[in-house]
Chain A
Amino acid sequence: MSLFTKFEALAAVGAELAQHGTSPVGVPMRRVLSPTRAEVDGREVILAGTNNYLGMTMDPDCIAAGHRALDNEGTGTTGSRMANGTYDSHLALEREIADLYGMPQAIVFTTGYQANLGTIATLAGPDDILIIDADSHASIYDAAKLSAARVFRFRHNDAENLDKRLGRLGDEAQQCLVVVEGIYSMLGDQAPLADILAVTKKYGASLLVDEAHSLGVLGHRGCGLAEELGLLDQVDFITGTFSKSVGTVGGFCVSPHAQLAWLRNAMRAYIFTASASPANIASSRVALRKLRDETERRDRLWANARRLYTALGELGLNVGPQASPIVAVMMESREDTLNSWRTLLDNGVYVNLVVPPAANLNLLRCSVSAAHTPEDIDQIIKAYGVVAENLQAGQEIGAADQACAPG
């Protein structure tokens, strides 16, 4: 028994995944060629698992703004936002996010993970209650762990199940923060936000929506699911990340409640970390403007997403519950998932491999970008076609084996 003993099972999974060549965990991108192309394993592949929804990482204006900030303000701030890490550009970005959402103010964090950790763990204190969707992202689970609140989960996307939990709390429900996501990162399904909001309000609880995967993807201005459904003015808190549609690194929280300002000096994930670098902030500011104004990016994203979702369904693959820029294929076993992941890579397509314990599912998780061309989508569909054929052949062999097996 040593400090390392408890990691043996996890290490065994890692070793199993790395058994046949490049491990799907932490695939090295030798050279990044564009938002949708990189050199992996000595060959050029289409990137279809990067969450780069709007293709913003290589936008010339975002890059130029980053260059200028790097030249003028240096490589890093070397300080917390509370000390020497607040530059004019951090404040300008906060104003711009608040304006984008039409809310009195925003707080910017160094990463999206910290946005959830800081906001959720601080808002929900020792006398409060957190109720989170069971399929929440790890940053929400970690925030729940860090928070001194009592924590309950409700069944994924089930407003009735949430109603039951809030109902059991009685008057305490008013001290409750409910947390959901706009688009869930594994299967790409959206929260039934109108129903969840109605239940939350019925008991006088507050609602936080994490729009990490829906920022830039949903809503006319790209604010996310709450904007798409016309509910922006009713949600109590919205968090989000810059690491997907914005193409940089960072996170934020906005709220219609002016008291959000009070949290700034209470959130440890905001205070005890260096603020984002000037180049990162400068690129994020330009990207957010483009995210709002260049609606054609959203149109292209959704055209690609719908096409891929429909095509994979037609191949007989077990896709997620609704069309989304996250196109997930649910697999029967870890072995099938791993083999299929390699087949996709061999056919020039990189997607994410998801197996337990990362999630309670075996998945091939594909994310579509506005920067994918129709030809890229053709090639992705073709590669999945090979996967579907192999799976079909495997099932037939399995069935034949069973038929031949001595009774």
Chain B
Amino acid sequence: MGESMDQAQIETQLIEFIEPLLEKPAPIAPETDLVHEVGLPSLKVMELIVQIEDTYDISYPLNQLQDVRTVRDLASSVQQLIP
């Protein structure tokens, strides 16, 4: 499924995944900082990664999370992993 996806599509899909994981509902945009703006707890980040791996059929390295701040960062790293 991944081949035809562009980054904007991935961003939209990631926002759909992230919204239900938030304790307090908040608007999420591609530029939203996941930890500092919406306070996504580490356990929820792990849930998100599982969902991403299942959806795009990829293995997401946990060390890559260090460089991820925004939805856009995450989408870009996901896109790079899609074969």
- Min Cβ gap A297→B in Å is 36
Q: Give 1 or 0 for each of B52-63: 1 = CB within 8 Å of chain A CB.
A: 000000111111
Given contacts A151-B61, A152-B59, contact A360 B50 (CB under 8 A): no
Stretch with Cβ within 8 A of A (4 or more), from B8-16, B25-33, B38-46, B70-78: B38-46
Indicate whether A268 reaches chain B with its CB closer than 8 angstroms.
Answer: no
Residues of B within 8 A of A169 (CB): 59
Is A150 touching B50 in the complex (CB atoms < 8 A)? no
Nearest residue (CB) in A for B66 is A145
- Min Cβ gap A354→B in Å is 13
- Min Cβ gap B63→A in Å is 6
Is A152 touching B61 in the complex (CB atoms < 8 A)? yes
Residues of A within 8 A of B58 (CB): 168
Interface size (A, Cβ < 8 Å)? 15
- Min Cβ gap A339→B in Å is 22
| Cβ 8 A contact of B59, one of A134, A168, A356, A357 | A168
Is A165 touching B59 in the complex (CB atoms < 8 A)? yes
| Cβ 8 A contact of B63, one of A151, A165, A357 | A151
Is B61 touching A150 in the complex (CB atoms < 8 A)? yes
Residues of B within 8 A of A360 (CB): 43, 46-47
Is B60 touching A152 in the complex (CB atoms < 8 A)? yes
Is B43 touching A357 in the complex (CB atoms < 8 A)? yes
Is A144 touching B62 in the complex (CB atoms < 8 A)? yes
- Min Cβ gap B73→A in Å is 18
Interface majority SS (helix, strand, loop, mixed), chain A:
mixed
Is A134 touching B46 in the complex (CB atoms < 8 A)? yes
- Min Cβ gap B3→A in Å is 16
- Min Cβ gap B23→A in Å is 10
C-alpha spacing A356/B21, complex, angstroms: 14
Nearest residue (CB) in B for A144 is B62
Is A150 touching B46 in the complex (CB atoms < 8 A)? no
Q: Give 1 or 0 for each of A145-156: 1 = CB within 8 Å of chain B CB.
A: 000001111010
Is B41 touching A357 in the complex (CB atoms < 8 A)? yes
- Min Cβ gap B42→A in Å is 7
- Min Cβ gap A176→B in Å is 11
Pick the most buried of A9, A153, A164, A356: most chain B CB atoms within 10 A of its CB: A153
C-alpha spacing A346/B12, complex, angstroms: 51
Nearest residue (CB) in A for B42 is A357
C-alpha spacing A9/B44, complex, angstroms: 15
Q: Give 1 or 0 for each of A140-174: 1 = CB within 8 Å of chain B CB.
A: 00001000001111010000000011001100000
C-alpha spacing A356/B60, complex, angstroms: 24
Residues of A within 8 A of B50 (CB): 134, 153, 155
Residues of B within 8 A of A165 (CB): 59
Question: B: which residues have CB within 8 A of A?
Answer: 39, 41-43, 46-47, 49-50, 58-63
- 17 residue pairs A–B, Cβ–Cβ below 8 Å: A9-B41, A134-B46, A134-B50, A150-B63, A151-B61, A152-B61, A153-B49, A153-B50, A153-B62, A168-B58, A168-B59, A169-B59, A356-B43, A357-B41, A357-B43, A360-B43, A360-B47
Which 9 pairs across A and B sit closest by C-beta, in order of nearness? Answer: A151-B62, A150-B61, A152-B59, A165-B59, A360-B43, A168-B59, A151-B63, A151-B61, A357-B43
> Given A165-B59, A357-B41, list of 5 further CB < 8 A pairs?
A134-B50, A151-B62, A151-B63, A164-B59, A168-B58
